[in-house]
Amino acid sequence: MNDAPLPAERGVSNRVVFHCDLPAARSATRLLRAFLGEQGLDEHELFQCELCLAEACNNAVQYAADTATSEPVVAEATVHGTGIELRVTDHTGGFELHERRAPVDPARESGRGLFLIQSYMDDVRYYRAVGRNTLVMRKSRRLQHHRSALETTVTSLEDARRQLESCQQTISGMARELCVRSETLAAIFRCSAELGRTNDLEGFAQRLATDLLHLTAADWFILRLVPAGDAQLAVFAVSDPALRSAPLALDPSLKTTPVLELTAAFTRRAVEFELTGQPTSAEPLRAVGPRASGIIQPVLTGEKLVGTLAIGRREGGAFSPLEAELVRTFAEFLGVQVVNARHLEEAVNARLVAHELGIAHGMQRALLPRQLPRLPGCTLAANWESARQVGGDFYDVIPIDADTALLVVADVMGKGVPAAMFATIMRSLLRALVGRSRRPAQLLRRLNELLYEELSTVGMFVTVQLVVVDLRQRLLIAASAGHCPVIVASPEAVQPLRVAGTPLGILPHARYRELTVPLAAPAGLLLYTDGVTEAQGALDDFFGQERLVDWCREHFRRAPDASVLRDELTAELKRFGGGRPLRDDQAFLCLLEQVPAGAPAAATRTTGDFTAGPVPARRPFTFSPASSTPSFP
């Protein structure tokens, strides 16, 4: 109706203007109920009026246009001698009011409010105008305070019969819905309990979908899931093994595909279908039968696609709204359980991996020297920190004779178990090779020959610094496979000693150079991995080579032994990092000699020949103040 609403009959009125939101609508309804109670309405009348007002006010709020949510809603109640009039003025898009609405399907949410209003009110009219609408509800006052019991009976037996039939239909539908929902909850609880006992996700999905078949009178289903880290819909469970088919690729270019399951997956909406008349032969659901029908519900968690659930009947027949809602409910619950099961599996796997890494971490620590060997007049100390539970940095000190030892620091590219594995293999190989040669260049060449194939296969490499310290001849022999330079300290200077070399695993037949220099007395050495110089501070700056040399220049001269140097450098690195987690493994090894100076100077020599004989005497080895590399007079 588009006519202007008639003015309310004279009587006692109460008008409430409220904001367009549900809490304000409830408050307005309570205010008008209290007003009607003050006018002498009994509880039966108050209940009916309050229910109709609540439905009308809630609809006025819920269906308000986006541009009209700031407009107030007006509710008014008028009581006169013969009846009650209720008015609600809204700013919705309006609707068509029929003279009398048929009983509402109990499975549908919409339409129930208007059905109740027309059932309780004697006259309902709806006036539509531009920008506003008015719903007018009138009810005669049949019940008076002083009328007899006979006057309270319903005057029309026909009206009573119709109301009774309507109520019976509503109650019957509600009873069926309640029964179905009860069976749904029972199925969900039963399957959930079995999943909790067995963690069998496939069996859980099979049982849950089978229960859904019984509740919806369907006879087939196909559940597809998206495997973790994959972009396809793979069959996970079916009602009949003959319904299994190849995975469906979730290719964005196929969004307009006629394949029904992909349509549901891409649109994130349920797809109802009948295969009769489907022109495409590429539809996987044709395996069900040519007359099959059903519904495909996307399985979602939020907006994330978990899979699709297709269910239906081989001989056709549409799903009722209640059955379609059951399919949606089961799909939502199934999606939650699939995600939870995957999270549980990931958590269990993570705990297993963490446990295994913890064991590997303990094994790797056990491979590091528990106690460093002694050299006459020297102290040795080392530290190792992994950026993960297992790392690729390691150090070792291998005695050669009473006055000579091989100092080793290495860094396997990468972190975790692969890096630790290669570190362990290399340590074992190196200890075995030292019995055959004491020349660092020869040791590196042989290590590269033994490890090249395995390292190159996995795309990894190892940097190594080898330093032979000979206290009897007062010599230091160094070779490097692309590693950080060893820092050499003497009473006169602290400088890095650089020796070029290719990392292990890069070239199959790499050759390495040695650098032999005299060892000043008292001497100090620091071997380290790049995790020390590349440690990051609070400002994302690096600790750096220059800072490390300066630190050594200050601390080597006053430290009483190597263990103090180790503790002070460890503390300095932690202070510089500001408590941030390590981004790379760290390992370093320091030697500090405590004998007085005066040992004879030795010569310096570089050679690629690891079998070279004694080095002839030359002028003393010195450090050039203008360079960070040793010079040879």
Query: 591, 581, 590, 545: which is closest to 391 by C-alpha?
Result: 581
> Is 202 in a helix, a strand, or coil?
helix
Region 183-195 average pLDDT: 57
Tokens 């692969």 belong to which residue?
Answer: 418
**Which band of pLDDT confidence, cut at 50, 70 and 90, is reported for residue 70?**
confident
Is the pLDDT at 522 greater than 60, yes or no?
A: yes
Q: What is the rounded distance in angstroms from the CA atom of residue 494 to the CA atom of residue 105?
A: 92
Q: Work out the percent of the chain whose per-residue pLDDT is above 70.
A: 79
Farthest-apart Cα atoms in the chain, separation: 136
- Tell me, what's the pLDDT at 423? 84
Task: DSSP letter for 615, please.
Answer: P
What pLDDT score does 439 carry?
95
Q: In this predicted structure, what is the pLDDT of residue 229? A: 78
Q: Identify which has the larger pLDDT, 108 or 285.
A: 285
- Cα angle value 526/531/535 (rounded, 5°): 105
C-beta separation of 622 from 631 below 8 A: yes
At 8, is the pLDDT very low, low, confident or very high (cuts 50, 70, 90)? low
Going from the C-alpha of 620 to that of each of 39, 247, 541, the distances in angstroms are 118, 76, 38
- On the question of pLDDT at 176 being above 70, the answer is no
> Residue 184: pLDDT band by 50, 70, 90 thresholds?
low
Lowest mean pLDDT among 269-283, 450-464, 603-617: 603-617
Any idea how long the chain is? 633
Task: Give the residues across from 396 on adjacent strands.
Answer: 408
Pairing of strands 524-528, 486-489: antiparallel
DSSP 607: E
- Per-residue pLDDT tens over the stretch 451-501: 999 999 988 999 999 999 999 999 999 999 999 999 999 888 899 999 999
- The residue type of 181 is R
Question: 190 falls in which pLDDT band (50, 70, 90)?
Answer: low
Identity of residue 573: L
Q: Out of 165-179, 195-209, 247-261, 538-552, which region has the weakest mean confidence (pLDDT)?
A: 165-179
- Phi, then psi, of 331 in degrees rounded to 5: -65, -40
Which residue ranges form the domains of the chain, and what is each CATH number? Answer: 12-153 (3.30.565.10), 176-344 (3.30.450.40), 368-600 (3.60.40.10)
